[in-house]
A and B are shown apart, each in its own frame.
Chain A
Amino acid sequence: MAKATNNVIRGQTFKGLCHLKTVNAAGQNAQPYVVVPSDVVTVHLPPDSKAVPPVANNILSSAISGQVTPNFGIPGDVAFVCPAGAGNPGSGQMLVGTNLGIDVRVLHLDGTVDIFEAASVINVADPLNP
């Protein structure tokens, strides 16, 4: 498995741009995944499961202004901004570790969900609390 090359500091803002695609069963013929305005797109960051009590989830949502923003002009492109600080969702609630994954989920009006998984995306460090 490839190692993550993106280094994130817990508690600091970082941004991401996701390129969502569909592929066939052979993992080929990638096509941009079309997000429509009625979809709710969420970005699932690694929660600090080692905290006491553990953080159950750390989820950014397109339902909240400024967190997740699909670019309807470029099919498949979804930008997100993870806020700084200790609030949830936010960078301060992320798990410290290496080769951590990020998931994106697209909730449709009919209740169905498409799940995009990306492993080994980020390394999260916390210099103030190593």
Chain B
Amino acid sequence: MGFAVGGQAYPINYVAEPEATGGARIWPQMEVFDVSAGFPGVSLGKTALIPVKNGSYGASFVPVTGHSYHVATDVFTDNTYTALLGPPGRMGTTESVQCGLITVPGATVIVGAQIDIEIQGFEMDIEIEC
């Protein structure tokens, strides 16, 4: 399992944890060794956070090659870079990572970056006023 940048294949390591509603949320810790094909705006040691477009919880998320992502939002806070990327697919389906198509506005291409990607879930609080 892995992804390709510029014709070069790279591995993706996965970490899975039980999830309260059953099943597991899995997020890859992806090491990008060559982003010359275009992975701008992500600097060494920073974290790109990807929210899962979760059609359903309880199933595994297995990224594979051949699927692209785009930036939904990006935030700089306290020297921490957070890029919310989408659409990364849905839990329970086979999705992928293709780094060459990830773009971040106003940023610089970094070669040799290491990027941890977390597949995120969604939560919600509701206040009701009767």
Contacts and interface: CB of A to CB of B under 8 A. Distances in A.
Interface of A: 6-9, 12, 14-27, 29-31, 33-34, 36, 102, 104, 108, 110, 112-118, 121-122
Contacts of A30: 123
A19 B120 contact: no
B125 A18 contact: yes
Interface string B46-77: 00010101110000000000000000110100
Given A112-B53, A121-B128, A24 B120 contact: yes
A102 B55 CA distance: 16
Contact of A34 (B54, B73, B118, B128): B73
Interface residues of B, number: 32
Nearest to A111: B87
B122 A20 contact: yes
Contact of A26 (B17, B51, B125, B129): B17
B98 to A, nearest CB: 16
Contacts of B25: 25
B130 A22 contact: no
B123 to A, nearest CB: 5
B35 to A, nearest CB: 23
The DSSP consensus for interface residues of chain B is strand
Interface of B: 15, 17, 19-20, 25-27, 49, 51, 53-55, 72-73, 75, 82, 84, 86-87, 118-130
A33 to B, nearest CB: 7
26 contacts: A6-B126, A8-B128, A14-B128, A15-B128, A16-B126, A18-B124, A19-B126, A19-B127, A20-B124, A21-B125, A22-B84, A22-B121, A22-B122, A23-B120, A25-B17, A25-B27, A25-B119, A26-B17, A30-B123, A108-B86, A112-B86, A113-B53, A114-B122, A115-B122, A118-B125, A122-B128
Contact of A17 (B27, B51, B72, B127): B127
B61 to A, nearest CB: 10
B54 to A, nearest CB: 6
